[in-house]
Amino acid sequence: MDFALPLESAEHNLISALTRQERWAQQQLYEQYYGRMMGVCLRYAGSRDEALDLLHEGFIKVFQNISRYKAGTSLPAWIRTIMVNTCIDYYRRTIRRRTEDIAEANYLSNDDPDAFSHMTEQEILAAVQELSPAYRAVFNLYVVEGYSHKEIGDALQITESTSRSNLVKARIKLKEYFSARRMEFGVGEEE
């Protein structure tokens, strides 16, 4: 309990300074959460430069809306929500939504539930960035963020069946990507 008060006080002072738009506070918050939030943006972006743009746009929204932050709630979770929503907004602005053929998705499946267990984080991130923006958004929202297909449909303004179809196709594309990578390095040729 001795540590809780100074931490709460430090966060309160930081939030107050952010509300006054003090540069030192903005820099401190940016530096403190850069790594974690860049990881979020990288999962949605097609490249590191695009992720950096999303990160900066997200932090601008954080700074503009800091007065809406409720003391006592998780600041990292609040910032993360803004970053995810920034990525969703970007998707909406740049991608034309098209309805995928759900009939095609009915026969597609992923037979390898352990596909990622032998991959590094960088390999998985590179593969996710190779997905089309529509597949990448659905994959991230469903697999990483835990959204339901209904929530994804509402967020991306697509149908639930399109969300399901895009998830199946994203998984297939990832499986193909990793199969090609294994063959490229001579792994799994005897299978």
Q: Which of 33-37, 99-103, 138-142, 171-175 has the lowest mean pLDDT?
A: 99-103
- What's the sign of the alpha-carbon dihedral 165, 170, 172, 173? positive
Same domain flag for 83 and 15 = yes
Report the C-alpha dihedral over residues 127, 132, 134, 139, rounded to 10 degrees. Answer: -10
Cα 100 from chain centroid?
Answer: 22
CATH number for the domain including 119?
1.10.10.10
Whether 59 and 115 map to the same domain: the answer is no
Q: Do 76 and 152 fall within a single domain?
A: no
Distance between CA atoms of residues 61 and 45, nearest Å = 18
Asked if residue 165 belongs to a domain, the reply is: yes
Q: Are residues 110 and 86 in the same domain?
A: no
pLDDT 10s digits, 72-94: 889 999 999 999 999 998 888 87
Query: Given 57, 73, 94, which residue is the final one in a domain?
Result: 94
C-alpha span between 174 and 124 (Å, rounded): 9
Domain holding 180, by residue range, is: 102-184
pTM for the full predicted model: 0.63
Which of 61, 94, 127 finishes a domain?
A: 94
Residue 189 located in a structural domain: no
Does residue 145 fall inside a structural domain? Answer: yes
pLDDT in tens, 122-180: 878 888 888 999 999 999 999 888 999 999 999 998 999 999 999 999 999 888 888 87
Residue 187 — pLDDT band, cuts 50, 70, 90?
low
